[in-house]
C-alpha cells in the first residue's frame, strides 16, 4: 500500500510543483519590478506593511486555511450523496461570501486603527501611518475576491483538480507586472510616486476578481453552483465552519509570525519591513512549491482515509508528504543561507534598490532560511491533524509558537536588527515542528523514524559546501554569475548524492525518473 501511495503522490507532485514554480517566478518578477521602481525605503515599507495586514486576513479566512478546514467537511458530505455535497457547498459559499464582504467593509472603515496596531512604529514618521492606512483600504476588497477563489479552489481540490487552482494566483502577479511596466513606459506620468503606489494596491486588489472568474467554469463543471442559501432555513455549513474558525487561524501562522515581525520592524530604520517581506518571499518559494504542494496534494486523501477509519492508509499517505517536504526544505535552507547575498543582489539590486538594501535583505534571509525544514514539517503536519478532525493540537501548538516568536523578537532585534526578527521566527518554528511530530505520533501512530533523516542531511551538507565553494570562487564575476552557477550546481550534487546514498524517497520529487 505504501508503494502505491508513493506512486500516486509522485505523479501529482511534479505537475503541481511546476504550476507553483511558474506562479512563484511571476511573483518574484513582480516584487523585483516593484522595488526597482519604488526602491526599498519608506514607500515600499508602507505598501508591504499594508499588504502583510491584508494577507493575515486572507490566509486566515481563505487559501490554505479554508482548504484544510473545508475539504474534510466536504468529503464527509460526499459519503452521503452528491446532492448533500452540493447543498453543503452552497451553504459554505453563503457563509464565506457574506463573511468576507463584512470583513472587507470593516477593514476599509477601520483601516487606520488596524494599521496602527500592526505598525505602531509608523506613528513617529510623518505621513507614513496615513499612507499605509490608505493602501490597506485599497487592498481590502482583495479579501472578498481571494476568499471566494479559495472556496472554489477547495472544492476543485476535493474533486482532485489541482492544476488550474494552482495556476490561478499567477493572475495577481500578471496584473501588477503589467501596471509596473506601464509606469516604466511612461504611462500615468502625471501621478507622483505616492499615487502610483496607491494605484498598484488597487490593481492588486482587483486581480482577485480575475482569479475567481478563472476558476468558475471548472467549478460549474463539477456540479457546484453559486446559489445563496436562506439563512433562516438552510445554513448547514455555518456551524461547522465557525467551529473550525480557530483552526483556520492556526493555518495562517506563517503570516501571523511575519505580522508580529512587521510590528517590531516598524520601529527599525526605513527598509526593514521591505527586507522582511522580500526575504520571506524567497523562503516561500520552496515552502509554497513543495511543502504546501505536498500538503495540498495529500489533504483530500488523508481526509478520505480518516473518514473511512483507515489508520494504516492514513499513515501510508502521510509518509510521502512529510518525506517530500523534508527532502526539499533541508537543502533549500542551507542553499539560501549560503547564497543569501548574491541571490538578493541578483534578484533585487536594480533601479532604485540599493546595495545597502540588498545586504539588509540578505541578513534577514539568512536567519529565516534556517527554519525552512521546520516550516515544511509544520505545513504538512497541521493539514494531517485537521484531516483527522484533531483541531485542538494545531491550535495549541501554533498559539505557543506565536507567543514564543513574540517573546524572542525584542531581545534578538537589538543585536541583529531585522535578521533577529527572522531568527525568532525560525527558532519558534523548530519548537513547533517538534511538537507537531509528537502530536502525529500520539494521534496517528506515525513515527518520525519513518522519514529519511540522516542520509539526506549528509547530501544537503555536501551540496551546501558546493554552493559555498562556488560563491567564493565566482565572487569576482558578480552576483548573477554566482546565483546562476551555485544554485543549479548544488541541486545537481544533492540529487546525485541522494541516488548514491540510495535514498528511495527521492523518486517522490523526480517522478521515478532519477
Contacts of residue 367, Cβ cutoff 8 Å, sequence gap at least 6: 416, 419, 420, 422, 423, 426
| Tally of residues, the chain | 514
Q: Answer whether residue 200 shows pLDDT above 90.
A: yes
Residue 71: name the closest of 169, 165, 5, 153 by CA.
Answer: 153
Per-residue pLDDT band at 131 (split at 50, 70, 90): very high
Percentage of the chain beyond pLDDT 90 is 34
Model pLDDT, residue 1: 47
Model pLDDT, residue 418: 92
Model pLDDT, residue 167: 86
Per-domain boundaries in the chain: 2-451
Contacts of residue 45, Cβ cutoff 8 Å, sequence gap at least 6: 128, 266, 270, 271, 272, 273, 274
Q: Distance between CA 338 and CA 430 in Å, rounded? A: 20
Q: Distance between CA 277 and CA 261 in Å, rounded? A: 10
CB 251 within 8 A of CB 64: yes
Burial of 36 (0-12, 13-18, 19+ CB in 10 A): middle
Q: Answer whether residue 214 shows pLDDT above 90.
A: yes
Q: Which of 29-33, 142-146, 152-156, 358-362 has the highest mean pLDDT?
A: 358-362
Torsion of Cα atoms, 18 then 206 then 140 then 91, to 10°: -70
CB 205 within 8 A of CB 142: yes
DSSP secondary structure letter of residue 41 = S
C-alpha angle 271/355/189, rounded to 5°? 70
Model pLDDT, residue 379: 82
CB 214 within 8 A of CB 164: yes
On average, the pLDDT of the chain sits at 83
CA–centroid distance for 261 within its chain? 16
Question: Taking the model in full, what pTM does it have?
Answer: 0.75
Radius of gyration of the chain (CA): 22
Average pLDDT value for residue range 55-75: 67
DSSP secondary structure letter of residue 485 = H
Residue 88: name the closest of 199, 288, 225, 289 by CA.
Answer: 225
Per-residue pLDDT band at 299 (split at 50, 70, 90): low
Q: Answer whether residue 306 shows pLDDT above 80.
A: no
> Which grid coordinates are listed for 505?
524517497
Model pLDDT, residue 78: 83
Measured from the Cβ of residue 203, the count of other Cβ atoms closer than 10 Å reads 17
Measured from the Cβ of residue 480, the count of other Cβ atoms closer than 10 Å reads 15
Between residues 386 and 435, which one has the greater pLDDT? Answer: 435
Coil, strand, or helix at residue 156? helix
CB 255 within 8 A of CB 55: yes
pLDDT tens-digit readout, 132-178:
999 999 999 988 898 888 889 888 888 888 778 888 888 999 999 99
Model pLDDT, residue 62: 52
Per-residue pLDDT band at 377 (split at 50, 70, 90): confident
Q: Answer whether residue 475 shows pLDDT above 80.
A: yes
Between residues 220 and 316, which one has the greater pLDDT? Answer: 220
Q: Answer whether residue 84 shows pLDDT above 70.
A: yes
Amino acid at each position: 500500500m505504501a508503494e502505491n501511495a508513493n506512486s500516486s503522490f509522485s505523479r501529482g507532485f511534479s505537475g503541481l510543483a511546476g504550476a507553483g514554480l511558474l506562479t512563484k517566478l511571476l511573483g518574484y518578477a513582480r516584487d523585483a519590478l516593484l522595488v526597482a521602481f519604488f526602491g526599498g525605503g519608506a514607500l515600499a515599507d508602507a505598501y508591504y506593511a499594508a499588504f502583510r495586514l491584508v494577507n493575515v486576513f486572507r490566509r486566515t479566512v481563505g487559501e490554505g486555511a479554508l482548504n484544510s478546514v473545508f475539504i474534510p467537511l466536504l468529503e464527509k458530505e460526499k459519503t452521503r450523496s452528491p446532492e448533500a455535497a452540493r447543498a453543503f457547498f452552497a451553504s459554505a459559499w453563503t457563509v464565506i461570501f457574506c463573511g468576507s464582504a463584512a470583513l472587507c467593509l470593516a477593514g476599509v472603515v477601520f483601516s487606520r486603527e488596524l494599521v496602527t496596531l500592526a505598525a505602531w512604529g509608523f506613528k513617529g514618521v510623518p505621513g507614513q501611518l496615513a499612507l499605509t492606512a490608505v493602501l490597506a483600504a485599497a487592498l481590502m476588497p482583495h479579501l472578498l475576491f481571494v476568499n471566494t477563489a479559495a472556496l472554489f479552489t477547495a472544492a476543485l481540490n476535493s474533486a482532485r483538480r489541482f492544476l488550474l487552482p494552482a495556476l490561478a494566483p499567477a493572475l495577481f502577479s500578471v496584473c501588477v507586472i503589467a501596471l509596473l511596466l506601464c509606469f516604466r513606459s511612461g504611462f500615468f506620468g502625471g501621478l507622483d510616486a505616492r499615487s502610483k503606489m496607491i494605484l498598484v494596491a488597487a490593481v492588486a486588489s482587483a486581480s482577485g476578481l480575475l482569479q475567481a472568474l478563472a476558476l468558475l467554469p471548472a467549478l460549474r463543471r463539477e456540479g457546484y453552483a453559486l446559489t445563496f442559501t436562506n439563512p433562516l432555513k438552510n445554513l448547514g455549513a455555518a456551524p461547522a465552519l465557525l467551529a473550525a474558525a480557530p483552526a483556520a487561524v492556526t493555518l495562517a501562522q506563517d503570516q501571523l509570525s511575519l505580522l508580529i515581525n512587521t510590528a517590531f520592524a516598524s520601529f527599525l530604520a526605513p527598509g526593514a519591513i521591505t527586507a522582511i517581506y522580500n526575504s520571506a518571499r524567497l523562503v516561500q518559494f520552496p515552502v509554497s512549491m513543495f511543502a504546501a504542494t505536498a500538503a495540498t496534494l495529500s489533504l483530500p486523501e488523508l481526509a478520505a482515509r480518516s473518514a473511512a477509519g483507515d489508520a494504516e492508509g492514513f499513515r501510508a499517505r502521510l509518509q510521502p508528504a512529510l518525506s517530500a517536504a523534508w527532502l526539499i526544505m533541508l537543502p533549500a535552507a542551507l542553499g539560501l543561507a549560503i547564497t543569501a547575498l548574491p541571490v538578493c543582489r541578483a534578484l533585487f539590486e536594480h533601479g532604485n534598490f540599493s546595495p545597502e538594501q540588498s545586504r539588509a535583505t540578505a541578513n534577514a534571509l539568512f536567519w529565516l532560511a534556517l527554519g525552512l525544514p521546520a516550516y515544511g514539517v509544520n505545513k504538512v503536519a497541521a493539514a494531517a491533524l485537521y484531516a483527522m478532525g484533531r483541531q485542538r493540537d494545531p491550535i495549541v501548538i501554533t498559539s505557543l509558537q506565536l507567543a514564543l516568536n513574540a517573546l524572542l523578537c525584542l531581545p534578538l532585534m537589538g543585536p541583529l536588527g531585522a535578521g533577529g526578527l527572522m531568527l525568532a521566527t525560525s527558532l519558534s518554528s523548530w519548537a513547533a515542528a517538534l511538537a507537531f511530530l509528537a502530536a502525529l505520533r500520539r494521534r496517528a501512530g506515525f513515527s518520525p523514524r519513518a522519514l529519511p533523516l540522516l542520509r539526506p542531511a549528509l547530501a544537503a551538507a555536501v551540496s551546501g559546501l558546493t554552493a559555498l565553494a562556488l560563491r567564493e570562487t565566482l565572487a569576482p564575476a558578480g552576483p548573477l554569475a554566482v546565483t546562476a552557477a551555485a544554485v543549479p550546481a548544488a541541486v545537481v550534487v544533492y540529487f546525485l548524492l541522494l541516488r548514491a546514498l540510495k535514498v528511495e524517497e527521492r523518486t517522490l520529487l523526480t517522478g521515478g525518473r532519477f
